[in-house]
Amino acid sequence: MEISDEDKKFLELYSDSIYEKPSVTVDAVILRLVDKETNNYRKLPEKKLQVYLLNRKYPPFKDKFAIVGTFIDLNNELAKTMKLCVESKVGLENFYYEQLYTFGEKQRDPRTRVLSVSYMLLTNQSKLHGGEWFDIDLNNGKIKLESFENGYRSEREVGIILTSGDTVLKNNLIVKSEKKGIERVSEVEVVNSDIAFDHIKIICYALNRLKNKLEYTDIIFNLMKEKFTLTELKNSYEVILGERLLDANFRRKTASLVLPLNEYTQDKGHRPSQLFKHNPNWNKDNLI
Amino acid sequence: MEISDEDKKFLELYSDSIYEKPSVTVDAVILRLVDKETNNYRKLPEKKLQVYLLNRKYPPFKDKFAIVGTFIDLNNELAKTMKLCVESKVGLENFYYEQLYTFGEKQRDPRTRVLSVSYMLLTNQSKLHGGEWFDIDLNNGKIKLESFENGYRSEREVGIILTSGDTVLKNNLIVKSEKKGIERVSEVEVVNSDIAFDHIKIICYALNRLKNKLEYTDIIFNLMKEKFTLTELKNSYEVILGERLLDANFRRKTASLVLPLNEYTQDKGHRPSQLFKHNPNWNKDNLI
DNA sequence: ACAAAAGTGTTCCAAGTACACCCATGT
DNA sequence: ACATGGGTGTACTTGGAACACTTTTGT
């Protein structure tokens, strides 16, 4: 990408303020999986999915919880800015991340026009600081489907309850999808939300992305500890997918994703279980 | 999302210029499928995938071809701005679109820091103005795979040749992917490109998105005319996927995606073929 | 007649589904 | 003894892959 002489001349004269500019933030939906406490010595702990939120110290949305983010730095790459932000604000390093979507609705920030380039972060670390882990309780309502001759319209209520100790944050969304011949509209509407900005929409987007990627990637291992039993892995899938899986089939399907170790769990009140680790050489599509 | 009194007070005093702002564009990769000419009265025309590019009249990258885009308007939604831009610059209306990715590399625009919120647009219209349709000739090199104990590194050269009449634009990318335990890096590097900015990267991203979505959506019908034969549909899949499909299997697999019409092709030098249209009520996941 | 596309049928194989069943452990 | 998770086997179903074969048209 060589720059022509004419371009060089132009650039010397160029003023970068001729177009209005928006503010831009990078925002991170930080997710992890943890064990629910259990009092039964036999029972294995169930897993729960959590998101890390910060209580906002300044307006707008002072005292509301929000996902981690910052205004971008023009001298850094977007992802770099996001990483620095996450490291400095909550102390998280070395994590899996991917860009999700850029949210830019006109009214999403009461201050001014602000675009949010959002990221999903997955971790198995717990010791973050500055905020709180919130349990995610996702409740997909029944889908309402209306069919016409040349298409359909679907609508579903989605409830997301975020809980950390006594703090319970309720959020309700409506996910709409309409299809009429070639026309096609998808929309997520926030009915009510106890967290800042449109962040519940971003969280919802991340949860969907994660769920979809479980099927065809090995993304889940970013949420696992290094060593785990297959039942732990199965529970993890179940929590994210929101459905129960059959044990025998699960073991076969995931066989290529994991490597068996010569270690076993003990002291569990039931038969010991073999430990596994992620098979980093699992390929599939990458080999094509 | 009520605004508290404290927030209101804050907003009155708020100055939106405390953070540096980037310029932001919306950019559209406009794709269509057309028939290659054929001189054999028996042979059906093959399909080819095309992208619509504009010749830049002003620096930077004057006289280079670029995808359609504009600096955003702070008073409009992002998608709205993109739609208005596409309509006014090339005369395209009523199309399928989806947001792709936000490109923001520091050096991607020689003028200043510019983020590009990119979209993929699919159409079956031909009569655009102001630019040219370029045939897309995508050439995936062989993948080079290097395996270690705890991961692997893959690298592949991708050549994209864009042709419109005598204009031939060559572009070469290297797609890298590295995995070491939990660490994971993916990167696309532009080796050389005959088009403006990093637009070849955006086009490449769109082509991949389209290819992936063929599998699990009915997105392809946005590229088809209203009525088509199953062989036309199969050719369309083949061109985008870059591989041949088996006819008998294809017919079975796509059966639920289409509705048969009581019309048949004629004058083709071979057996007439039934025409089909998209089944707009094809659902699958949406029913869950 | 014949080249090309249109369309159907069949066999084989891989993978997913749903169970039934036995094993090993700590209390 | 027993509740619980760990783990294997199997019969059935579904769908994709590969290929053979027939039909129909315009020139």
Dump pLDDT digits (tens) for A240-276.
999 999 999 999 999 989 999 999 998 888 889 999 9
**B68-71/B96-103 β-pairing:** unpaired
Q: Are B11 and A99 within 8 A, CB to CB?
A: no
Q: How far apart are the first and last CA of chain B?
A: 30
Chain B neighbors of A21, CB-CB under 8 A: 21-24
| DSSP element (H, E) containing A238 | helix A230-241
Query: Is A26's pLDDT higher than 70?
Result: yes
Asked, as a colleague might, if the bond just before B60 is cis with ω within 30 of 0, I would say yes
B-chain residues near A286 (CB < 8 A) = 143, 145, 152, 154, 177
Interatomic distance B141 CA / D21 C1' (Å) = 37
Check whether residue B267 has its CB closer than 7 Å to nucleic acid strand D.
Answer: yes
Q: Distances from the Cα of B28 to the Cαs of A22, A141, B81, B225, in angstroms?
A: 19, 35, 11, 21
CA→C1' distance for B238 and D25 (Å): 25
Among A3, A18, A19, the strongest candidate for a mutation testing the B interface, having the largest count of B CBs within 10 A, is A19
Which residue type does B18 have?
I
pLDDT 10s digits, B248-274: 999 999 998 999 999 999 878 888 999
B57 touches strand C (CB under 7 A): no
Distance B248 CA to D21 C1' (A): 12
Cβ-nearest to A110 among B11, B222, B288: B11
pLDDT in tens, A51-86: 999 999 998 999 999 999 999 999 999 999 999 999
Kindly determine whether residue A21 and residue B16, on different chains, have CB atoms separated by under 8 Å. no
pLDDT of the residue at A142: 85
Task: Tell me what pLDDT residue A227 has.
Answer: 95
Give the mutation candidate from A182, A190, A193, A225 for the B interface (greatest B CB count, under 10 A). A182
Q: Is the CB of B273 under 7 A from strand C?
A: yes
Residues 219-278 of chain A within 7 A of strand C, judged by CB, are 246-249, 252-253, 266-272
- Residue A204: burial class (beta carbons within 10 Å; 0-12, 13-18, 19+): buried
Strand partners, B97: B121
Q: Are strands A131-148 and A47-55 parallel, antiparallel or unpaired?
A: antiparallel
pLDDT digits (tens, 9 = 90+) for B168-210: 999 999 999 888 877 788 899 999 999 999 999 999 999 999 9
Asked if A107 and A115 touch (Cβ cutoff 8 Å), the reply is: no
Question: Has residue A18 got a pLDDT over 70?
Answer: no
